[in-house]
Amino acid sequence: MKIGEKIRFLRQQNQLTQEELGDRCELSKGFISLLERDMTSPSISTLMDILEALGTDISTFFASEEEEKVVFTQKDFAVKTESEEKSVITWLIPNAQKNNMEPILLELQSGGRTYPDTPHEGEEIGYVLEGTITLVIGSKKHTVKHGESFLIHPDKPHYIVNNGKRTAKLLWISSPPSF
């Protein structure tokens, strides 16, 4: 951790000049400048004075900030294989049920299908990456080909079937999470 960098951020956040912060702590502008460039280190009591002037305390200052994970790789994915349905579901974002939407990668072998989903709140969208699928919503059937997308307002039972000869792959996103 770079103490000086963090002090500079807090000082700027409080809209203080180096001179104003120094005055509040009975320190020179030069000392604050050296401190912010990590060219000197304050004593514990001086650091506590500086942090008090910046509206924080030592425990908050040194609390580690948990960095939010933004990029996920295959090692983060969860995979579920359904042999009876001839499908593989890959959850692309861990713990996505805590988010507003949940993306999965769905692979359906020839003759594969998803479980029929009963009506629920929200929306679902999908994009066919490979193959062709049949999207069944209520009693209506829709053919969705490679490079095409779909939108479901899930007010009727719905499911997907792969009647093609090769595996179909699609990106499927549900909001709120329902997979």
pLDDT at 1: 66
The position carrying tokens 């948990």 is 66
The position carrying tokens 């040194």 is 62
In the predicted model, what is the mean pLDDT of residues 141-157? 95
Q: Is the dihedral of CA 61, 63, 64, 67 positive or negative?
A: negative
In the predicted model, what is the mean pLDDT of residues 7-23? 95
Q: What ranges make up the beta strands (E) of 8-145?
A: 78-82, 87-91, 102-108, 123-130, 132-137, 140-145
What CATH number corresponds to the domain at position 82?
A: 2.60.120.10
Number of domains in the chain: 2
The whole domain housing 121 covers: 74-175
d(CA 76, CA 92): 8
Which residues touch 145 (CB under 8 Å, ≥6 apart)?
A: 128, 132
In the predicted model, what is the mean pLDDT of residues 44-64? 92
pLDDT at 79: 93
In the predicted model, what is the mean pLDDT of residues 144-158? 95
Confidence of residue 65 (pLDDT cuts 50, 70, 90): low
Residue 67 lies in a domain: no
The position carrying tokens 């050296």 is 34
Is the overall model pTM greater than 0.85, yes or no?
A: no
**Residue 18 reports pLDDT greater than 80:** yes
What CATH number corresponds to the domain at position 37?
A: 1.10.260.40
Confidence of residue 52 (pLDDT cuts 50, 70, 90): very high
Instruction: Count Cβ atoms within 10 A of the Cβ of residue 50 and give its class: 0-12 exposed, 13-18 middle, 19 or more buried.
Output: buried
